[in-house]
Structures are given as C-alpha cells and as structure tokens.
Structure 1
Amino acid sequence: MSRQRLARIAIAACAVLPVLSCSTVLQGNPVSVFADPFSVAGMPATDGPSGLRPNAEAGSRDVTGTDNGDVDKLAGDAVSDIEDFWHNAYSDSFDGSFEPVSELISWDAHGYDGEFCGESTYGLVNAAFCKLDRSIGWDRGVLMPSLRKDGGDMAAVLVLAHEYGHSVQQQAKLITRGTPTLVSEQQADCLAGTYMRWVAEGNSPRFTLNTGDGLNNVLAAVIAFRDPLQSEDDAQAGANEHGSAFERVSAFQFGFTDGPSACAAIDVKEIKQRRGDLPVLLPEDQSGELPITEKWVRAMVDALNTIFKPAKPPKLSFSTDQAKTCPDARPSPPASYCPATNTIVVDLNDLAAMGVKNEDDGAMAPASGDNTAFSVLTSRYMLSLQNTRAVPLNNAKAALRTACLTGVANAKLSKSLTLGNGDSIVLTAGDIDEAVSGILTNGLVASDVNGESVPSGFSRIDAFRLGVLGDAERCFKRFD
C-alpha cells in the first residue's frame, strides 16, 4: 500500500546547488485547534479573497535581473511583506535583531545569461536562499508562474516565505553546519507557517489569506513539496531528505498554530518522535500499490477487524442500493456506512478510480494512490466503531473524530499484518501522504456518516495527525 511517483519540479530541493538552503516545550498560550470544529487554529474558518490586495502597499526591495513583469512584482512584494513580519516578530522569539537578506535575484530558467549563488541559472527551476551571500532568488520563467497557475498568488508567496525561513534560522542560530537537511527544511516550513498566520489574521498590508480555500491551497503547495518516494535498494536512499508530505505539512501547521518557538523546537529528536514507526522507504522491488478489488477491500476490512476486534464487526456490501435505502444516513460514495444495519457499502468502481496513482507533473500535484481510496474505506469502518460507543455520527465533531480514528488505523496498519488466509497487508512509504492529500482535496476521510466534512482542510489534517500520533481513546476524548 504505497506508491512511487515521478520527480517533478524541484521546488526547494537544492540538489543542484549545495550551498543553498531551499527547501518540545512551547512558549505562550497555545490555542486548542479542536475547541471549535469550525475554527482554524483558534481563528474562524472564513471564505474571502486570498492573494495580493487590489491596493497593496508597494514593495520596498529592488530585484536584480528583473524583467519588471507581474511575477517579479509579486515576488518582490512578497519578500518585502515577509520582512515586515520578521522585523516585528524576530525579537519576540530570538536573540538579537532582524537582518534582511542582502539581495533579491530573479532569473528565467530558459535563459542562458543568469547567475545565482555562483552558478548558472539555465535550467534552474527553483527558488532558494544562498548561504554564501544571504541572497534570495527565484525562477520567474517556469516555477513561479506554475505555482500561481496551480495554487494562486499565495502558493508562490509560500515558497518565498519558506526560503526566507532559512535566512531567519541562520541568523537565529537554530542550525549549524552539522544540522541535517531534514531538520533545516522542516524548520523553514514551520517559519513559513508563522508568517502565513500573520497574513491570515489580516495584518499584512499587501496580501490576504482566507482560512477556507485560501489556506487549503497553501497546504496543497506544502504537500506538493514532499520528497519523491525512494526504495530500500536505492543507493541514494535517505540522502538530502526534506520530509514526507505528512511531515512537512505538520511542520507548517506547528508554526501557524504556535508561532516561531514551535519552529525552534524542531530537531532530529522531535522529527524522529513524530515519524515514529511510519515507513520512509519502499521495500525492494515493490511499488507498494494494492489493486482496489473486492479481494483487497475485504482484506482491508479483515485487517481492521483483527486490529480493533469489535464485538459486532460491520458487514460489507458491494450493492450500492443498500446505501440509498439506509434509514438513518445518506450515502457518502464511494464508501458509505449505514448505522441501522451496521453495513459498509462500497461502490467498487468509484473506489478504484479514487485509488489511481497520480502521474501529474504539475507544480502542485497531490499525492494519490491506493491509500487515498483505502483510507476512505477505513474511515467508514471507524464510523462503525463509533456507533458501538453511542456517540453522535452526524455532526462536525464526528467528522473530525473519524479523521482522528482513521489516523490511528493508518499507524497500526504500518506494521505488517498477516490475515487468516495467509495474505498480508501493510502500509508502506507514501501511504500516509496519499491519505493526507485525500483529506485535503475531498475531505471524505474527515466526514461524518452523511459524508459532510468541516470546511477547513487545516483542521481535518490536524485531527488525522492526532490519531497517527495517538490512540483511539485520545480521539474519543478530544472530540466528545
């Protein structure tokens, strides 16, 4: 149960330029992100504009190499805005005073005459922070337009906020020469999250970010920056890793929720604790993909029965009419749960279509594959477990509780399980990312018995992570 994917645009990957940085005890009074199912880290979940304000304050920085086009204007405005944030926020969290980056540099990856950090920019589809001279640069020809097309202005701003995070962590001495890339990248993700919170609160004179679709698009961009899957037999396995989608979106959310102090707390120990036993590399010569067939759907339900040992296991049906005639719940295709009959109803064709792995080379292509579908099936099983506890199944808390319990199940399924017929089923590297992407894009894993979810992808992913890192009782207690 995992997948391999093609390498896409190298956003913050820095494999080309080794001198680039691209990509717990908390202070203060953190707000529970679960206090209100319709809130986002203590903020209201709102619709509205996201991106550059119509009458945005002009940027304060010049851009070297600019073509004076819209992309460079947006990027220059973004860096100016990020610096406004850090001018005020830096001294509240770190020693010393804030120092802006030395220079902003733009290039077109199609051109031959650019240079950044001592290297030619021909073919450099990237954005990066240069440690040598403390400059920040970006590709205006391919990368930034692609990000804007797929995720709007704030996806492009996110990349620059991440790169600026490398400057902040360097001057705050959060990293040393020996700090692993994994740590520095996730710290930068976190620091970008602190800036995005400031924008979402309405403090930016240049940008807006609503906490509904706007923030969801930013999270989609973070997910897209995940590491490509590697196999145990890959000679470069584990080298220069930045983190999975699950890890990177978690780091971003830490910053958004708890501020810069949460970013300073990200180190090797914290990441290892957060990663736990979750698989990182695919087994040799395996894609990890299970076909979405009746055999493997039944096997998944058998595996969940083995793990959770319910007194009354749910029945499984592939007759979609049963979902339509359920007296106490509406269908939530491609998998539905009927409390009255304790039956999970699966539309096998639609579930299989949901589980097709994504071969999109776009800048913000989500993770998808078999566990995008199997996690939806698992979520309906989790509704059956909740039904035995006589808790409400048709409200926002039930939706988040379902996401949390599905996270618990995913963590347990990461350990190999042999079924009575000799088949084995196990989540492998990439499967958690597939679930997270599905939670953001369709929300079914984080939906109630009627398929209704909360509007905030941020809250849905938070609930899922709570389960991955916790247990079932924690989910029931948090969402009572």
Structure 2
Amino acid sequence: MRAALVVVLALLLTGCTQQVPGRGTAAGPPAAVAAPVTDADGAAAAAATAVEGFWRAEFPRSFGREWTDIATLLPVEDGDPAPPCVADRAEVEGQAYYCPLADAVVWDAARLLPDLFAEHGPVGVVVVLAHEIGHAVQSRLGVDEAAARDPAAYPTILLEAMADCYTGVAVRHLVDDPAPGLSVGPAERDAALRTLVGFRDPLGVAAGDEGAHGNAFDRVSAFRAGYDDGAARCAGMTVPERGFTQVRFGSAADRARAGDLPLRDLLVAVGRDAREWATGLSGVAGWTAPPLTTGACPDAAGQGPARLCPAADPLAASAVDVDLAALTPLHGELGDFAGATLVSSRYGLAALRAGGAAVDGPGAGHTAVCLAGAYAGRLLVEPVGFRLSPGDLDEAVQVLLTDDWAARDAAGRADPAEHGYERVARYEDGLRGGPAAC
C-alpha cells in the first residue's frame, strides 16, 4: 500500500517455475492407495488416480469429447536421468510441469512434494497435480494450438488461471465424492487456497508481463471460478473476463518498502480514506463516519485487532479503534493491507449501523467482509490519495484465510459455519461487484 496517497512448452515450463506441480509414474496412472495417505508419495499416487479418473468422466460430460489418458505421469528423484522435454534433471528441482509435446506431467518428488505435504497436507499435493493435469485438459481442448495462432489472446497468466480453475473443479469433486486415501473438507479446502498463495508471482510483476502467473488474489479467484461453476467456466476464460489485478510498483519508494507503509503511516492514511468512504456509503445526510483511534475502546474486545466501538446512538460520534499490540505483529507478518482490510470491515459496520441496519449477527459479519472487498475495489478503480500496491490484495487473502476477524459482527461473533474459502469469496464479490453486491 502506498500513500499519496518449444514453444508452448517453454511458455508453460517457465510459467510453472514459481507455481504448481504434479506426480505419478511413467506411462499411465498409478494404482489407488489405501486410506489414509501418510506421505507425499502416497498422496501423489492417490491424487493422480483420483484427478485423472475424474476427468475421464467429466471431460465428455462438459466438452462432449472422450478423454485420452496422459501418456506419462513421472516423479523425478535425485539421480534420475533427465525427464521428458528438459535437458537436465536439475531443471525439475523444486518444480513441476506439463509438456504438451510429450503429453507428460513431471514433478520433483525429492523435495517439492514432500515440502508441500509437510506444510499443507495431502491437499497441497492434490493442488499441484490437479494444476498440471489442468494444463493437459487445456491441451486436449486445443488451447495450445489457439495460443500459437493468437498469443496475445492467451498470455501465460490466462493459461495459468485456466489451470488454477481446473484445479478448483477437481478439488470440488474430491469434496463431493471423496477418493480413497484423500479427505478434503473445509479445512483442506482452505489449505488448497494457501497452497496457491504460496505460488503467487513476485511483487511488482504485472499481469501483462511475459511469464506472469498471477498474484494470490487472481489465483484464488480462478480456483473459486472452477470450484463454484465447473469446467465450462474455465474453458471460457478470457483476459477481460478475468480482470487480473496485479500491478507494478508505482514508485521507487514503494518498491523500496515492498509496498508496505509503516504501521503509523498506514493508520493515518486508511483512517482518513476509509472514513470518507464509509461516510458516503452510509447514505445518511449529515452523518460522518467515526475517526480511527488507538486503544479507545478496550471493552470492544472480541472483534480482533480492529473493532467498532459500541454506541447507544448509531449516529453518535463513536469510533473505529485499533489495538496496536494485536495489529503490530500482523502488520509485520502479512503486510500493511492485512490491517487495512480489518479496519475497512469495521468502517463497513459503522456505515451499516448509521443506516439503521443490524450490526450484530452472522449477516452483519458477512456484509462486513464483502464491504471490505468493495473498499479495496474502489482503490483499484478510482484511487485518489490512497491506492493499492503490489501484494496488497494478497495480504487481504492471507488475513481472511488466517482468521475470521473481518467477518465478526459488532459483538465479536463470526458465523461458525464459515471458513476461509467463504470469507475470500465474499471479499471477491464485494471487490468485483461493489457495495451493491453486499
């Protein structure tokens, strides 16, 4: 946040260097693994079987064509010879890729998948494999040829969004129809999103840059499109439809601080800007949103590092308040827009209360998250003195996955039925649709 305010193979392989991977054995899918899986190899075998088995049924159902099994699903270990489509085994270290020329999904089984399994569990392996198999889905739909004919219509970021979308389709199937060895529920679905967050582009890469894969927000958005809407939605993706959000740094100063304002400067800037936004959002003549304070209402504990202070009169000069002791470590760990997301959710509640709407109950928390997204969307399209920096939307996604603070009502309660996936979805709805979507 800143104040003042070769061919196809090369494309896919370089694209996937910071990204998602795969697992299996040569020439055909591996056998099913007994539940539950206990290591990366077992997760990979189960995932490869389940994901490709899913596409055998889903591909003709969604696209009217028979699925052709992937020729090679190949784990690569230390000391193995060079796999298909690369000159040296070292090129696969920490990576995975789909090579359309050989119809091969290849991945580093020595480090990549064990690391993902250790951090995210089996679903981290599922995401990696499903993404690379998603590229195989593209290939079978003729996207490789279309991209060769019209590269401008199929930049890398769109091809990767499609693969992320197909990943969402496959994960939804595993939620609805669990596979042997794999348990995918709400917690694992959140872990799938965190896996994608880990493969986001470096800060400052713009959507139009060659080899761009997407920031965390764009990647999670693409996953959600497939998870919610199915395979046809993925196949129909275009650059305008996606509305990619990642941007370059706007100044050398912003780059030097990695897009993050010092906490005190952030609070001054967002306190002024979000207060003005909430005042207009309320639609109440003569009402001005409360100032942002620090430590003014400790009795509002329960809402998290940012809270809407209680007030008997909704039009009284109340406050949106922050707990510096709680916000400081969050700021340091995730970045400045994590805190800005929480503050803007409280300003959303303040506007609701001024307009006579309830600020207690699950519905209020749902709306608060959505309005925080609407506030971020405003900064995307009409920034004046305060605007988004590279990484800000990624920070919002991370704080929404980390905790339910932004979704808590004025009494500090959140909907117990919701998880990170739903919070991110509500946030995206607000960002893309504005307050009317909330």
| CA spacing shift, 1:172–1:231, aligned 2, 3 Å | closer
2:276 — aligned with what?
306
Matched, 1:262 2:230: no
SS at match of 1:309: helix
Aligned partner of 1:155 among 106, 124, 142: 124
Runs of at least 5 residues in structure 1 that lack an aligned partner in the other structure = 3-11, 24-58, 64-68, 358-367, 419-423, 476-480
Q: Give the partner amino acid of 2:157.
A: L
Equivalent residues of 1:386, 1:393 under 8 A apart:
yes
Q: Give the partner amino acid of 1:472.
A: P
Of stretches 166-175 and 139-148 in structure 1, the one that deviates more from structure 2 is 166-175
| CA spacing shift, 1:217–1:97, aligned 2, 3 Å | same
2:162 — aligned with what?
187
1:438 — aligned with what?
399
2:185 — aligned with what?
210
Matched, 1:375 2:345: no
Q: TM-score, normalised by structure 2?
A: 0.83
SS at match of 2:332: coil
SS at match of 1:15: helix
Matched, 1:197 2:172: yes
2:350 — aligned with what?
384
Equivalent residues of 1:439, 1:460 under 8 A apart:
yes
| CA spacing shift, 1:417–1:99, aligned 2, 3 Å | closer
> How big is the shift at 1:204?
2.5
Equivalent residues of 2:98, 2:105 under 8 A apart:
yes
Structure 1 runs (4+) greater than 4 angstroms displaced: 20-23, 415-418
Equivalent residues of 2:190, 2:419 under 8 A apart:
yes
1:355 — aligned with what?
331
SS at match of 1:168: helix
Q: Give the Cα–Cα distance (whole angstroms) in 2 for the partners of residues 225 and 84 of structure 1.
A: 26
Matched, 1:316 2:316: no
Equivalent residues of 1:111, 1:122 under 8 A apart:
no
SS at match of 1:242: coil
Q: Give the Cα–Cα distance (whole angstroms) in 2 for the partners of residues 333 and 307 of structure 1.
A: 22
> How big is the shift at 1:315?
3.3
| CA spacing shift, 1:319–1:70, aligned 2, 3 Å | closer
Equivalent residues of 1:334, 1:347 under 8 A apart:
yes
Q: Give the Cα–Cα distance (whole angstroms) in 1 for the partners of residues 435 and 15 of structure 2.
A: 44
Query: Which structure is higher in RCO with an 8 Å CA cutoff and minimum separation 6?
Result: 1
Matched, 1:146 2:111: no
Q: Counting helix residues as a fraction of each chain, which structure ranks higher?
A: 2
| CA spacing shift, 1:397–1:16, aligned 2, 3 Å | closer
SS at match of 1:187: helix
Q: Give the partner amino acid of 2:270.
A: M
Aligned partner of 2:362 among 375, 396, 403: 396
Q: TM-score, normalised by structure 1?
A: 0.76
Aligned partner of 2:198 among 200, 205, 224: 224
| CA spacing shift, 1:400–1:344, aligned 2, 3 Å | same
Q: Give the Cα–Cα distance (whole angstroms) in 1 for the partners of residues 274 and 173 of structure 2.
A: 42
SS at match of 1:136: strand
1:119 — aligned with what?
87
Aligned partner of 1:338 among 302, 306, 309: 309
> How big is the shift at 1:13?
7.5
2:433 — aligned with what?
470
Q: Give the Cα–Cα distance (whole angstroms) in 2 for the partners of residues 75 and 279 of structure 1.
A: 31
1:40 — aligned with what?
none
Q: Give the partner amino acid of 1:346.
A: V
C-alpha offsets along residues 378-399 of structure 1, whole Å, 9 cap, x if unaligned? Answer: 1111110111122222222211
SS at match of 1:229: coil
Equivalent residues of 1:215, 1:458 under 8 A apart:
yes
| CA spacing shift, 1:137–1:309, aligned 2, 3 Å | same
Of stretches 69-78 and 170-179 in structure 1, the one that deviates more from structure 2 is 69-78
Q: Give the Cα–Cα distance (whole angstroms) in 2 for the partners of residues 216 and 132 of structure 1.
A: 34
Equivalent residues of 1:81, 1:206 under 8 A apart:
no
> How big is the shift at 1:241?
0.7
Equivalent residues of 2:366, 2:426 under 8 A apart:
yes
Q: Give the Cα–Cα distance (whole angstroms) in 2 for the partners of residues 402 and 125 of structure 1.
A: 39
SS at match of 2:132: helix
C-alpha offsets along residues 3-56 of structure 1, whole Å, 9 cap, x if unaligned? Answer: xxxxxxxxx9832899x9967xxxxxxxxxxxxxxxxxxxxxxxxxxxxxxxxx
Q: Give the partner amino acid of 1:15.
A: T
Percent sequence identity over aligned pairs: 27
C-alpha offsets along residues 144-186 of structure 1, whole Å, 9 cap, x if unaligned? Answer: 0110011001111110001001101110224522321111111
| CA spacing shift, 1:82–1:425, aligned 2, 3 Å | same
Equivalent residues of 2:40, 2:125 under 8 A apart:
no
C-alpha offsets along residues 423-479 of structure 1, whole Å, 9 cap, x if unaligned? Answer: x4221221111111111112222322233334321111111001111121321xxxx
Q: Give the Cα–Cα distance (whole angstroms) in 1 for the partners of residues 13 and 411 of structure 2.
A: 44
Equivalent residues of 1:165, 1:188 under 8 A apart:
yes
Q: Give the Cα–Cα distance (whole angstroms) in 2 for the partners of residues 297 and 103 of structure 1.
A: 53
Instruction: Within 5 Å, give how 1:391-430 maps onto structure 2.
Output: 391-414=357-380, 424-430=385-391
Matched, 1:246 2:217: yes
| CA spacing shift, 1:125–1:314, aligned 2, 3 Å | same
C-alpha offsets along residues 269-293 of structure 1, whole Å, 9 cap, x if unaligned? Answer: 212xx33xx4511124123211111
Q: Give the Cα–Cα distance (whole angstroms) in 2 for the partners of residues 151 and 127 of structure 1.
A: 17
| CA spacing shift, 1:290–1:13, aligned 2, 3 Å | farther
C-alpha offsets along residues 328-380 of structure 1, whole Å, 9 cap, x if unaligned? Answer: xx5323111123163212112321221115xxxxxxxxxx2110111111111
Q: Give the Cα–Cα distance (whole angstroms) in 1 for the partners of residues 267 and 338 of structure 2.
A: 13
| CA spacing shift, 1:335–1:266, aligned 2, 3 Å | same
1:280 — aligned with what?
247
SS at match of 1:209: coil
> How big is the shift at 1:130?
1.2
Equivalent residues of 1:102, 1:133 under 8 A apart:
yes
Aligned length: 396
Equivalent residues of 1:230, 1:281 under 8 A apart:
yes
Q: Give the Cα–Cα distance (whole angstroms) in 2 for the partners of residues 162 and 472 of structure 1.
A: 33
Equivalent residues of 2:15, 2:213 under 8 A apart:
no
Aligned partner of 2:409 among 425, 440, 448: 448
C-alpha offsets along residues 64-90 of structure 1, whole Å, 9 cap, x if unaligned? Answer: xxxxx9533431221111111011111
